[in-house]
Amino acid sequence: MAYRYPPLARKLHWATAALVAVMIGLGFWITWFEPKNATLKFALYDVHESTGVLVFVLVLARLLRRMANPPAPLPSTVPKLVRAAAHANHLLLYALLLLQPVLGFLATNAWGFPFRWARLIPFPSPVGKDEALAPVLSDLHLAGAILLLLLIGAHLGGAFFHGVIRRDGVVQRML
């Protein structure tokens, strides 16, 4: 029987994929097309920030689940180089999916906005208002988003390679 990721792993994969797509769209919306209406603007910031924290938690859950039940190796027909590239891609995706929300959270802090998850649960402000640090953290958050987009692009390229060119059943592992 060909290996398939367990149902929880697949659900978490697709939930994070959908949320990350929404996060990137929202992030560019609030910075590049900042709404004039202040209520809408702050609502979009709140949704972006709280959803970003949710992504962090979901990714952590994915990693813990993966440690408890690691996936089967890729089929032996997958070339060594492709295997290494996929491994590096997944590793970097996980690292960035954890780092990006932390950078966003610290940037929010440094701009002087204490964070309340879903406007309900107050988070401590580890950096506090810092006008020198804030733009640096925002730049890193932008760089993180660009890197994430590149990694997702490579990931989609991999899915296309396996699903359309090789038809080797790898995409089916996550469906």
Where on the chain is the footprint of ligand HEM (CB under 6 A)?
13, 16-17, 20-21, 23-24, 27-28, 30-32, 48-49, 52-53, 55, 66, 71, 74, 86, 90, 93-94, 97, 100-101, 104-105, 107-108, 115, 138, 141-142, 145, 148, 152, 155-156, 159, 170-171, 173-174
* Dihedral of alpha carbons 125, 127, 128, 131, sign: negative
Q: How far is the CB of 81 from ligand HEM (least distance, A)?
A: 15
For residue 116, the cross-strand partners are: 122
Residue 30, C-beta contacts closer than 8 angstroms, at least 6 positions apart: 41, 44, 45, 48
Planar angle of CA 172, 53, 160, nearest 5 degrees: 25
CA dist 6 and 9 (Å) reads 5
Q: How far is the CB of 167 from ligand HEM (least distance, A)?
A: 13
Report the residue closest to ligand HEM, judged by CB: 27
Q: How far is the CB of 174 from ligand HEM (least distance, A)?
A: 4
Q: Which is nearer to ligand HEM, 90 or 166 (CB)?
A: 90
Q: How far is the CB of 142 from ligand HEM (least distance, A)?
A: 4
Evaluate whether 98 touches 59 at the Cβ level (below 8 Å): yes
